[in-house]
Amino acid sequence: MRLEYFEMLDRVEEMDLAAGRIRVIATTPINSPVFEGHFPKFPILPGVLMLEIMNQASGYLLYRRFNRERFVFLGSVKRAKFRRMVKPGAILDVRGQITYDGSGFHIAETSLIVDGEVAADAEIVLIVQDFPTAEAKAELARRTSEITFADPVLA
């Protein structure tokens, strides 16, 4: 995970494109400029970044469902709850389930689990559209190629 570059996902543990389900592992870095200001001498992962991690997991699922040919981004947050603080070095178990497939948008139930306890959960809307540029498409393909897969998961 590289917070400063919004590269949040480390390894896909489970992914079922047809069922619209994904489980990803992400490890928060021990040191990051993000933690220097949130909060000084008491570093915790900002809630907005927890939300982004959940968004990226569900967005990656849709990106793969559309064979890397469609641009997926956060459209809205219908509900979000932050239940526990996440400290540097925490291993995050991130889950997403597509609950609605619409025309150009999808709804996902997401959760972020740390040490077996839900740290955050949200219902989000993801927008799916054509890539804005060929360069953006190529760069997203390059960056997402760095995400690893657990052995039983087919890339």
Q: What is the pLDDT of residue 4?
A: 76
Rounded CA separation 45/28 (Å): 8
Q: Is 38 a catalytic residue?
A: yes
Report the C-alpha gap between 112 and 28 in whole angstroms: 12
pLDDT of res. 64: 96
pTM of the shown model: 0.94
Report DSSP letters for 43-80, one per residue: ----HHHHHHHHHHHHHHHHHHHTTT-SEEEEEEEEEE
By three-state DSSP, how is residue 100 classified? strand
Q: What is the pLDDT of residue 2?
A: 80
Q: Which fold has domain 3-142?
A: Thiol Ester Dehydrase; Chain A (3.10.129)
Q: What is the mean pLDDT of each run of 10 residues along the chain (155 residues)?
A: 84 96 96 89 95 97 97 97 97 98 95 98 98 97 92 65
Active-site option among 25, 29, 32, 38? 38
Are 21 and 96 spatial neighbours (Cβ–Cβ below 8 Å)?
yes
- Among the listed residues 92, 29, 15, 90, the one whose alpha carbon sits nearest the alpha carbon of residue 59: 15
Q: Cα–Cα distance between 33 and 43 in angstroms, integer?
A: 10
